[in-house]
Amino acid sequence: MYINYGRKLLVLVYVDDLVRAAAGMQDITWIKNSLTKAFEMTNLGELRTFLGLEVSRQRGQRLLTLHQTKYSDKILARHGMQDARPSLTPLDPGTRLSSYKDRIMGEGEPRALSQVLYQSAVGSLMYAMLGTRPDIAYAVGLVSQFNQSPLWEHWMAVKRIFRYLVGTWQFGLRY
């Protein structure tokens, strides 16, 4: 991120994508012209997506909304949860997860789970959480503690978060 404090201008760059934001159109035009002189660039118009974040603007109401509906659809499909029954909360109230080594002997052998599958699911949820879904932060933080040795009960908690996304896929952040 590059900041020009004098012009109150922000430029976000990621590999070959660039986003400009400023207080006025004259500053946007200035940075666009300055960059076009230095680099070969293509103007793709108004910002719609950036790093998987979808952006929608309602200029008349001065609203900017960030959401990840396409990303949510993609991760739900990848993990076979697109048709799951929605959940009202990301975690069952009172959920207490523990690792195998914390278990009291005699409870039975817990079922282990594929570490790769689990980490992929938790990582997908973490990207959604960091982008536009702070409402799942506690739940994702809890299940991410078991990335090294996930058990079946941990996978059930991850699936609950996915079920919550099924019912709230359209949620986002409004500024």
pLDDT band with cut points at 50, 70 and 90 for residue 97:
confident
Q: Are residues 153 and 91 in the same domain?
A: yes
Average pLDDT over residues 145-171: 94
Question: What's the gap between Cα 52 and its chain centre?
Answer: 8
Which range marks the domain in which residue 27 is found? 1-45
Residue 72 has pLDDT above 90, yes or no: yes
pLDDT of res. 81? 95
Count of domains in the chain? 2
**∠ Cα 171 172 175 (to 5°):** 140
Q: Are residues 31 and 117 in the same domain?
A: no
Question: How far is the first Cα of the chain from the last one, in angstroms, to the nearest whole number?
Answer: 20
Q: How do residues 112-128 score in pLDDT, each as one tens digit? A: 678 899 999 999 999 99
CB 32 within 8 A of CB 20: yes
Q: Specify if 55 maps to a domain.
A: no
Q: Specify if 119 maps to a domain.
A: yes
Q: Could you tell me the pTM of the whole model?
A: 0.82
pLDDT of res. 17? 87
Q: How do residues 22-38 score in pLDDT, each as one tens digit? A: 888 899 889 899 989 99
CB 75 within 8 A of CB 125: yes
Contacts of 174 (CB under 8 A, 6+ apart): 63, 64, 65
Q: Specify if 58 maps to a domain.
A: no
Q: Specify if 64 maps to a domain.
A: no
